Amino acid sequence: KAGVTQTPRYLIKTRGQQVTLSCSPISGHRSVSWYQQTPGQGLQFLFEYFSETQRNKGNFPGRFSGRQFSNSRSEMNVSTLELGDSALYLCASSGAEAGGAETQYFGPGTRLLVL
């Protein structure tokens, strides 16, 4: 099975712009989660989607949003970019149906640099 894929792998934006990141989960996985990784804050949970519905949300401002499509692919959008949004954004998929401790498999990440 192909793993989790994320596009683009690298992105440079300027403050005030918006950005959309894409994630394709492992075939058959319906749960997609997004995480932000920075040197200062470590790995932080952004949100999780299951069957096109946001099922869980972390403590991030409303500038961070996401969606999931019927084929389970997910996109994450950050509007009005700030310097502090520079980070590695990781997407993970799992076969979890009703929640629970299913293993999450991660993609290679998107490195976002905001200038």
Partner 1 sequence: AQKITQTQPGMFVQEKEAVTLDCTYDTSDQSYGLFWYKQPSSGEMIFLIYQGSYDEQNATEGRYSLNFQKARKSANLVISASQLGDSAMYFCAMSDSWGKLQFGAGTQVVVTP
Give the binding site for partner 1 (CB under 8 A). Answer: 31, 33, 35, 42-43, 45, 48, 55-56, 58, 88, 90, 92, 94, 96, 99-109, 111
The answer for residues whose C-beta is within 8 angstroms of residue 4's C-beta and 6 or more apart is: 23, 24, 25, 26, 91, 92, 93, 105, 106, 107, 108
Q: How far is the CB of 104 from partner 1 (least distance, A)?
A: 6
Residue placing its CB nearer to partner 1 in the complex, 43 or 80: 43
Residue placing its CB nearer to partner 1 in the complex, 35 or 78: 35
